[in-house]
């Protein structure tokens, strides 16, 4: 599976890897013509690594513990990127802030998915359940999903795609998260496909998707 298509991606994650699974499913269904070169996590027991191994995808625990420092971990990630000739690095619930080293090496080739509408409710500490809980606390009527290029700031890079999710009156953070995840699982493979097809264009920090 990992070498079937010439456009190659890699995924970084820290947890269960449901977005990784959505990407794998899209590839196996023939909807996403990319090769998934490897998956890496800063957490040795992240279930996302097990998901990768079940599909014969190389999976690595790479962290400051395994490589001496966060910089050492990113050097190893970049070594793998070069070894596998990865075109696009996809963050899927990766909870470590990337340093300028890796961002510079992969400028405009790292994307992230955020479970909310940016630039609102982004930044340090606002990820996963924390975003959904904040949406409920603020009484917001719309939440959603944002996919963006990664730069040196949290949740800050140019926005590639967004999709809204209505917040029901009886929602709590868990019920909202469930519906937001469904959108994530649809939208992330679509955006990766845009990159694989060469449809993503960046001009003056704005993203355009060509037909």
CA–CA gap between residue 146 and residue 159 (Å, rounded): 7
Residue 3: its pLDDT value, please? 66
Q: What is the pTM of this model?
A: 0.96
| Residue 156 is among the residues annotated as catalytic for this protein | no
Residue 147: its pLDDT value, please? 98
* Residue 126 C-alpha from the chain's centroid: 15
CA–CA gap between residue 211 and residue 206 (Å, rounded): 16
Residue 112: its pLDDT value, please? 98
- In degrees rounded to 5, what are phi and psi of residue 161? -155, 150
17 is known to lie in a ligand binding site: yes
Return per-residue pLDDT of the chain as tens, 211 residues: 556 789 999 999 999 999 999 999 999 999 999 999 999 999 999 999 999 999 999 999 999 999 999 999 999 999 999 999 999 999 999 999 999 999 999 999 999 999 999 999 998 889 999 999 999 999 999 999 999 999 999 999 999 999 999 999 999 999 999 999 999 999 999 999 999 999 999 998 899 999 8
CA–CA gap between residue 17 and residue 9 (Å, rounded): 15
193 is known to lie in a ligand binding site: no
CA–CA gap between residue 62 and residue 60 (Å, rounded): 6
Domains of the chain: 1-106 (3.40.50.170), 113-148+161-211 (3.40.50.170)
Of the residues 114, 132, 148, 185, only one is catalytic, namely 114
């Amino acid at each position: 599976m990992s070498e079937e298509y010439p456009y190659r991606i890699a995924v970084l994650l820290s947890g269960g890897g449901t977005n990784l699974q959505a990407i794998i499913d899209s590839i196996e269904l023939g909807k996403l013509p990319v090769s998934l070169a490897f998956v890496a996590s800063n957490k040795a027991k992240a279930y996302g690594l097990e998901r990768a191994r079940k599909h014969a995808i190389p999976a690595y625990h790479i962290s400051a513990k395994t490589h001496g420092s966060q910089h050492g971990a990113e050097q190893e990630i970049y070594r793998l990127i070069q070894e596998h000739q990865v075109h696009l690095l996809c963050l899927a619930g990766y909870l470590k802030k990337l340093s300028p080293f890796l961002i510079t090496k992969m400028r405009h080739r790292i994307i992230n998915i955020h479970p909310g509408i940016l630039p609102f409710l982004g930044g340090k500490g606002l990820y996963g359940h924390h975003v959904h809980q904040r949406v409920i606390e603020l009484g917001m009527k719309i939440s959603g999903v944002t996919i963006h290029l990664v730069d040196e700031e949290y949740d800050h890079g140019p926005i590639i795609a967004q999709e809204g999710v209505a917040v029901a009156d009886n929602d709590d953070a868990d019920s909202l998260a469930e519906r937001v995840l469904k959108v994530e699982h649809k939208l992330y493979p679509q955006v990766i496909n845009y990159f694989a097809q060469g449809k993503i264009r960046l001009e003056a920090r704005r993203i355009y998707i060509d037909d």
